[in-house]
């Protein structure tokens, strides 16, 4: 005879599954399953009936329950992932729009400096000959790294007769974008093909 603690264990682990399995077992019993046709001792027949009509239905219900939980969890994880991705895309698009709106407000000279530094991958600074950057966005220390040029820096400037002469400048400053600013602008440029909402012309900065 099966241990009577089996019923207690089934009841503790899953009352609902136990009830369902008993109902299924009773239905199978009422259908006079093939096991009832075997002539066996009362003890053995009782054990077989318990196994066929209660234990097996219970295990089947438990297996279906596990499968259902696994499917449900997978659906929930995918749903949460989709929601997070959608939110991330929306926030990213909002940030891109904010960056472009700021660039839209730049003067032609300021826009050209930003584009120059982007094209040079922020490795070659914009050198401000003639202090053109004074009073512009270049004064913003949150956006640009500013440093004084070496006094030995020379530039070749054309004369009226077509010749070029070297001028040695002092008190001249050079600018690079802050790395985080450069990264944001580079991302927007790569992602959308432009850092502005509309097409803008660049002016010659005389940096070559």
Per-residue pLDDT tens over the stretch 116-156: 999 999 999 998 876 677 788 998 999 999 988 765 545 55
Cα 28 from Cα 59, distance rounded (Å) = 15
Per-residue model confidence (pLDDT) at position 37? 45
Per-residue model confidence (pLDDT) at position 1? 42
Cα 168 from Cα 30, distance rounded (Å) = 107
Per-residue model confidence (pLDDT) at position 134? 75
Question: What's the number of CA atoms in the CB half-sphere (13 Å) around residue 40?
Answer: 13
Per-residue pLDDT tens over the stretch 82-104: 999 999 999 999 999 999 999 99
Cα 161 from Cα 200, distance rounded (Å) = 34
The domain segmentation of the chain, as residue ranges, is 5-79, 106-156+167-192
Q: Cβ distance 124 to 153 under 8 Å?
A: no
Residue 44 has pLDDT above 80, yes or no: no
17 vs 136, higher pLDDT: 136
Parallel, antiparallel or unpaired: strands 173-177 and 126-128: antiparallel
Q: Cβ distance 164 to 156 under 8 Å?
A: yes
This model's pTM is above 0.85: no
Provide the terminal-to-terminal Cα distance of the chain, rounded to the nearest Å: 98
Closest CA to 202 of 119, 100, 99, 96: 119
């Amino acid at each position: 005879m099966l241990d009577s603690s089996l019923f207690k264990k089934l009841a503790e682990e899953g009352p609902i599954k136990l009830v369902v399995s008993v109902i299924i077992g009773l239905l199978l019993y009422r259908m006079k399953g093939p096991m009832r046709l075997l002539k066996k001792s009362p003890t053995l027949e009782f054990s077989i009936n318990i196994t066929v009509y209660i234990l097996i239905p219970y295990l089947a219900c438990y297996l279906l329950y596990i499968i259902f939980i696994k499917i449900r969890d997978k659906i929930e994880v995918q749903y949460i992932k989709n929601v997070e991705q959608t939110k991330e895309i929306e926030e990213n698009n909002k940030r891109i729009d904010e960056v472009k709106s700021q660039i839209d407000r730049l003067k032609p000279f300021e826009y050209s400096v930003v584009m120059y530094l982007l094209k040079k991958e922020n490795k070659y600074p914009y050198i401000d000959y003639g202090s053109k950057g004074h009073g512009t966005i270049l004064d913003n220390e949150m956006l640009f790294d500013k440093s004084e040029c070496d006094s030995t820096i020379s530039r070749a400037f054309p004369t009226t007769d077509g010749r070029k002469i070297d001028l040695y400048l002092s008190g001249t400053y050079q600018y690079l974008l802050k790395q985080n600013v450069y990264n944001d602008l580079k991302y927007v440029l790569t992602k959308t093909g432009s850092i502005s909402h509309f097409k803008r012309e660049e002016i010659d900065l005389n940096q070559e």
